[in-house]
Amino acid sequence: EAQVTQNPRYLITVTGKKLTVTCSQNMNHEYMSWYRQDPGLGLRQIYYSMNVEVTDKGDVPEGYKVSRKEKRNFPLILESPSPNQTSLYFCASTPRAFSGRVADNEQFFGPGTRLTVL
């Protein structure tokens, strides 16, 4: 089954304790992205990756790191989490970095990770 998986689904942690949220897709997609969703703000892009070893900042990258060593995995790293990073996080993948072909724009989202930083 084609899917995007995220782990963990729920996490409660304390300020300053490094954590990693994993994201994996089994569709051989080139483009992957991380978003955070906050009430009233919609989805805001944190980082994205056009392909292996190619990553770039989105709109709200402060306090986050990513890596793309393999095509299927795109982990999100919080080196020193703070309470303002409490949010719902989504990983997404797309066949390519958006083209005129409808199929290339099908962005598959993971189930989400609800993170609470105390």
Partner 1 sequence: GQQLNQSPQSMFIQEGEDVSMNCTSSSIFNTWLWYKQDPGEGPVLLIALYKAGELTSNGRLTAQFGITRKDSFLNISASIPSDVGIYFCAGRHGSSNTGKLIFGQGTTLQVKP
Phi, psi of 6 (to 5 degrees): -130, 145
Q: Which stretch binds partner 1 (CB under 8 A): 13-21, 44-52, 66-74, 75-83?
A: 44-52
Distance CA 4, CA 54 (A): 19
3-state helix, strand, coil in the chain (%, to 5): 5, 50, 45
For position 70 contacting partner 1 by CB under 8 A, the verdict is no
Q: Which stretch binds partner 1 (CB under 8 A): 10-18, 20-28, 68-76, 97-105?
A: 97-105
Which CB, 15 or 84, lies closer to partner 1? 84
Exactly one of 50, 52, 55, 86 binds partner 1 (CB under 8 A); that residue is 50
For position 112 contacting partner 1 by CB under 8 A, the verdict is yes
Instruction: Name the helix (H) or strand (E) containing 49.
Output: strand 42-51
**21 near 79, Cβ under 8 Å?**
no
Which CB, 44 or 72, lies closer to partner 1? 44
CA dihedral 94→114→86→71, nearest 10 degrees, is -30
Q: What is the DSSP letter of 114?
A: E
Exactly one of 33, 74, 87, 115 binds partner 1 (CB under 8 A); that residue is 33
Which residues of the chain form contacts with partner 1 (CB under 8 A)?
4, 31, 33, 35, 40-45, 48, 50, 56, 58-60, 90, 92, 94, 96-98, 100, 102, 105-107, 109-112
